[in-house]
Every structure is written in structure tokens, then in C-alpha cells.
A = this chain, B = another copy of it.
Amino acid sequence: MSSGTLHVVGMGPGAPDLVTLRAARVLGSALCHAFFAKRGRAGQAATIAAPHLRAGSEPLRFDYPFTTELPPHDPAYRAAMAAFYEHAAGRIAARLEAGQDVALLCEGDPFFYGSAMHVFDHLAGRCRIEVVPGLPGMCAAWAAAGLPVAHGDDVLCVLPGTLDAVALTARLRAADAAVIMKVGGNLPKIRAALGEAGRSADAVYVERATMAEERIMRLADLPDDARPAPYFALVLVAGRRRAR
């Protein structure tokens, strides 16, 4: 066991006041904070953390090797991302072994489709790790949309938009309530799957919930030929109980 502690800290959906008191406390005493970001960008997790970080906290920044150069299912993409996370885990482990604590920042909740899980998987059992859960983006999205999503016996399915059209349609048919993540360039396929499953009328599109650029509308009202949806946009389908 190394002597530093890794704090894996969920930063919530975007608004700086939607971090938890615990996360704010950890950030306020962090001598070193690690985060992932796209090249040339400030990084979403680091931007949310900024007002809460201890003055002079040392940044340990890891630039993603790709943005959209390769599709996520390309073996070369997978290999490069695995090497990237292994490198990041090694750099963080070196700090921990030197007795330093590190706060690893993550958008949303760390264990819910978070990048930090890859670092966690490398370091679990090798060092002390404290996970501070964070508010998932979907909770902010349905609050902002005024859309109670799951009642009583509803089954809620969280569906990555990266699923193929057949799988997506079958899942939407079976779900009472659904959240479709990772929308981005998958939007045309998602629209078609919602139509096939007979759920188009219920679908609500939410972009950048709780941030200044927040956009919320019925998916049917979102123009088809608009600029591509951001990767972190969501589509919400509320449970069927509401209509019963």
C-alpha cells in the first residue's frame, strides 16, 4: 500500500453549486488535482472544480489522445485509450507512492460511465481510494426539464446511444422509462429507434443541463439539419405510469 490517498471526486452535471459539500471540502484541501480534458480545452471537470479548489492546487492534466479522429469501436482507438489510462494511472500512482494525496476530478458521478473508472481499475488494491459520488447529468436533466422520470414500479433503462439501431429499438420497447446517453452523432439513429418503438412522442432532448447554454425541448421539435448534438446531450423518456 502506498501512503497517499486517491480521492475520486464526482463533480456533478455542470453548475458549480451542484457539487456536494463533501466534494467541495475535498477540493478545498487538495494540494494536487488530476483531470482529463480534450486537447486545447479547459476540461469540463476542471471548469466545474475551479471555484472550489484550494489556491495553488497543482494540476495534473491528461489530454485525451483523440477527440473524433477514430471511431470508438476501432481497435486502434481502444488500444490507444487503454494505454492513455494506464499512463495516467502510473503518473497518479507515483504521486501517491511519494506520500501525496491526489483528487481525481470526474464529470457527473465517477462510477456511472466515468473515465475515472479506468484509473480506479488500475489502482484498486494498490492504494487507499475514497470515492465521492456525484450528481449524474441525467438527474440534472430531468429536474431542468420538469420531468419526473420514474414512478412506482417503472423500470428505468439507461441506454448508451452507441448501441446499434436494433438493440436500441428493442430496449426502448421493453423500458418504461429510458435515458439515452452519448447522443452526439447518434441522434438520427436514436430518432429512428424511438419511432420504431413507438416512443417518439414522449422523448425530450436536453443539452448541457444546468449550464449557461442549457437547451431543452421535445425531441420532435429539434431540427434534423441542425449542427450535430453534443456527445453529452441526453434524451429522456418518462415512465409510462404518468399516462395511466
Contact A134 B124, beta carbon cutoff 8 Å: no
Task: Say how many copies of this protein the assembly contains.
Answer: 2
Contact B156 A157, beta carbon cutoff 8 Å: yes
Contact A111 B18, beta carbon cutoff 8 Å: no
CB distance from A196 to the nearest CB of B (A): 17
Contacts of A155 in B (CB 8 A): 157-160, 163, 171
Contact B153 A163, beta carbon cutoff 8 Å: yes
Cα separation A148 to B10 with both chains bound (whole Å): 13
Scan A137-159; emit 1 where CB is below 8 A from any B CB, else 0. Answer: 00110111011111111111111
Q: Which of B112, B139, B160, B162 contacts A133 (CB 8 A)?
A: B139
Cα separation A93 to B151 with both chains bound (whole Å): 22
A131 within 8 A of B: yes
Within 8 A of B (CB), among A105-149: 109-114, 117, 120-121, 124, 129, 131-136, 139-140, 142-144, 146-149
Scan A1-31; emit 1 where CB is below 8 A from any B CB, else 0. Answer: 0000000001011011111111011000000
**8 nearest CB pairs, A to B:** A117-B148, A133-B143, A131-B143, A133-B139, A156-B158, A17-B22, A17-B21, A111-B148
